[in-house]
């Protein structure tokens, strides 16, 4: 019973388990008072118990904190994806498939930031310093004052960081780092988590911006970047199809800028090059109008981006027809096939369906629904849409069409690339004139009728 009651000194805040006339800590008289426990919950070892904590300072929303300082790399696609440059004392995770180009991207970024005045350290746990130097030579970056190290022991790395005091550190990759206090093997969930925790805490305390590279892994004992996503300020994924030269850097979480922002790069013989006009690039290999090909006017992050959806529909030899998707969501395709069948009377039973986004792009916007539906019907009917036409709009399960955000921006981009017409949902609001003629559709049924004729 006596154990549950705690006494504190009102003068110096020291706590004791028994009352006395004089405080042992500050030697003041008559200052010891009894305090009631904070919560009346169970008194197990794991509960907080009765002890009081320190009172924390509260502030209000109006208090102005200065904006964190940012540094630009000069690579527009990278700076935009970071939310407007690299923030001091921040932690960034860059995830991606092995071999997609993470090390290449970060070595190039390191060189740019170093040239812009930051003290940059590149620590590789996968390659030797000479391998990194070889890559730097190939990329023409040997002049940049980036410091290299090949190391995996986190204790040594932190000691080095403390002595060197860099502004920007790249850890390639977090899965190779290990702490001597954790018994598990490098790459295991507990090692990856602890290493990421140590590095991010150290970086924040010392004003260092740190990038953790993480390989995306198939389910297994090796931990993927997902286990550290919550610990960092910014999560970027580097995506692309192995066979294509395009690479997309996508911000999926950003405490310092908009998420969903993307940067587009091209893998060349001399490293990654910025793609300033991705729409033109993604449509560059488009030939004459073909059945199943539809241009979608999309929005990625803050900017419009045109890309081509390609569909192929053929009689299936299997009892269970195939549904294959590259660059789009498979379950969303199933939904659109179902809506087409029940609301517009276009069945796909007994037909194999293949859907692909040209150029290795991944589209996740719901506004692509109508473009996908158009590609599917066009492939099924063997009828091509006009060459100069873009399509966008979200489809509801009732077969209705919903207006997509940023219609004006989509139309402007389409117009810039020489498109003259757009098939869109009916919208209430009208903006400026983009020079693109709009064919507005109320629902999927009227879309099928008007575009592909009476059935
Ligand atoms: P890398 O950056 O090592 O990938 P990650 O770190 O994500 O595992 O990139 C490896 C691939 O990039 C490799 O297959 C070769 C290609 N590459 C080029 O095409 N051009 C280049 O200039 C460089 C350095 C790499
Ligand atoms: Mg690598």
Task: List, in sequence order, every residue forming a beta bridge with 323; answer none if it has no partner.
Answer: 353
49 annotated to bind ligand: no
User: Could you say which ligand is closest to the alpha carbon of residue 135?
Assistant: 1
CA distance 111 to 90: 19
Compute the distance from residue 99 Cα to the ligand 2 centre, in Å: 7
Q: What sign has the CA pseudo-torsion 53, 54, 59, 64?
A: negative
Tell me how crowded residue 198 is: count the other CB atoms within 10 A of its CB. Answer: 18
User: Which band of pLDDT confidence, cut at 50, 70 and 90, is reported for residue 6?
Assistant: confident
Supply the residue whose CA is at minimum distance from atom 12 of ligand 1: 101
User: Are 370 and 446 within 8 A, CB to CB?
Assistant: no
- Which residues' Cβ are closer than 6 Å to ligand 1? 96, 98-104, 135, 138-139, 267, 269-271
Residue 137: predicted pLDDT: 94
From the CA of 101, the nearest ligand is 1
Q: What is the pLDDT of residue 2?
A: 44
Give the least confident one: 5-9, 146-150, 352-356, 360-364. Answer: 5-9
Among left, alpha and beta (phi > 0; psi -120 to 50; other), residue 15 is beta
Q: For residue 359, how far is its CA from the centre of ligand 2 (angstroms)?
A: 23
97 carries a ligand binding annotation: yes
What phi and psi, each to the nearest 5 degrees, are found at residue 304?
-75, 145
Q: Is 321 annotated as a binding residue?
A: no
| Residue nearest to ligand 1 atom 14, measured at CA | 99
* Residue 54 counted as an annotated binding residue: no
Q: Between these two residues, 340 and 65, which has the higher pLDDT value?
A: 340
- Chain-centroid distance, C-alpha 287: 32
Say what the pLDDT of residue 1 is.
43
For 82-124, how does the pLDDT look when each residue is reduced to its tens digit (9 = 90+)?
999 999 999 999 999 899 999 999 999 999 999 999 999 999 9
Q: For ligand 1, atom 8, name the residue with the nearest CA.
A: 99
Number of residues assigned to the chain: 455
Query: Over the stretch 169-225, which tens digit does the pLDDT of each residue have?
Result: 999 989 999 999 999 888 888 999 999 999 999 999 999 999 999 998 776 556 788
Mutation test of ligand 1: which of 102, 104, 122, 269 has the most ligand atoms closer than 8 Å to its C-beta? 104
Q: How far is C-alpha 321 from the chain's CA centre?
A: 33
Q: How far apart are CA 126 and CA 96, in angstroms?
A: 15
Give the Å distance between the CA of 217 and the centre of ligand 2. 14
pTM for the whole thing?
0.82
Mutate to test the pocket of ligand 1, among 99, 135, 173, 266 (most ligand atoms within 8 A of CB): 99
Tell me how far the alpha carbon of residue 70 lies from the centroid of ligand 1, in angstroms: 28
What is the reported pLDDT for 430? 61
């Amino acid at each position: 019973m006596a154990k549950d009651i705690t006494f504190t000194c009102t003068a110096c805040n020291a706590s004791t388990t028994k009352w006395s006339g004089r405080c042992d800590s500050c030697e003041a008289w008559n200052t010891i008072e009894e305090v009631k426990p904070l919560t009346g919950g169970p008194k197990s070892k794991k509960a907080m118990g009765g002890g009081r904590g320190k009172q924390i300072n509260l502030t209000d929303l109006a208090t102005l904190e200065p904006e964190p300082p940012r540094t630009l790399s000069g690579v527009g696609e990278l700076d935009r994806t970071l939310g407007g440059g690299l923030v001091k004392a921040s932690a960034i995770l860059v995830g991606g498939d092995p071999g997609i180009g993470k090390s290449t991207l970060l070595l190039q970024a390191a060189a740019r930031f170093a040239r812009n005045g930051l003290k940059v350290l590149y620590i590789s746990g996968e390659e030797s310093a000479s391998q990194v130097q070889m890559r730097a030579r190939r990329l023409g970056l040997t002049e940049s004052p980036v410091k290299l190290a090949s190391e995996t022991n986190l204790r040594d790395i932190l000691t080095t960081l403390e002595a060197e005091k860099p502004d920007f550190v790249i850890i390639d990759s977090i899965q190779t780092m290990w702490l001597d206090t954790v018994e598990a093997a490098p790459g295991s969930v507990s090692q990856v988590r602890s290493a990421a925790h140590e590095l991010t805490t150290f970086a924040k305390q010392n004003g260092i911006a740190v990038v953790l590279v993480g390989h995306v892994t198939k389910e297994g004992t090796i931990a993927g970047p997902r286990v550290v996503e919550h610990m960092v300020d910014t999560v970027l994924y580097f995506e692309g199809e192995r066979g294509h030269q395009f690479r997309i850097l996508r911000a999926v979480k950003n405490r310092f800028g908009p998420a969903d922002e993307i940067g587009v790069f091209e893998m060349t013989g001399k490293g990654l090059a910025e793609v300033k006009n991705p729409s033109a690039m993604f449509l560059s290999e488009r030939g004459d109008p073909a059945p199943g090909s539809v241009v979608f006017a999309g929005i990625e992050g803050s900017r419009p981006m045109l890309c081509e959806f390609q569909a192929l529909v053929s009689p299936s030899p299997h009892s269970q027809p195939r549904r294959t998707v590259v660059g789009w969501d498979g379950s969303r395709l199933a939904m659109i096939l179902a809506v087409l069948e029940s609301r517009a009377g276009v069945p796909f039973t007994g037909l194999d369906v293949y859907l692909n986004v040209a150029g290795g792009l991944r589209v996740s916007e719901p506004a692509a629904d109508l473009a996908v539906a158009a590609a599917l019907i066009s492939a099924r009917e063997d009828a091509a849409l006009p060459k100069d036409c873009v399509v966008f709009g979200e489809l509801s399960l009732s077969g209705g069409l919903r207006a997509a955000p940023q219609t004006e921006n989509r139309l402007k981009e389409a117009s810039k690339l020489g498109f003259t017409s757009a098939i869109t949902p009916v919208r209430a609001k009208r903006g400026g004139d983009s020079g693109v003629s709009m064919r507005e559709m109320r629902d999927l049924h009227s879309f099928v009728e008007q575009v592909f004729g009476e059935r």
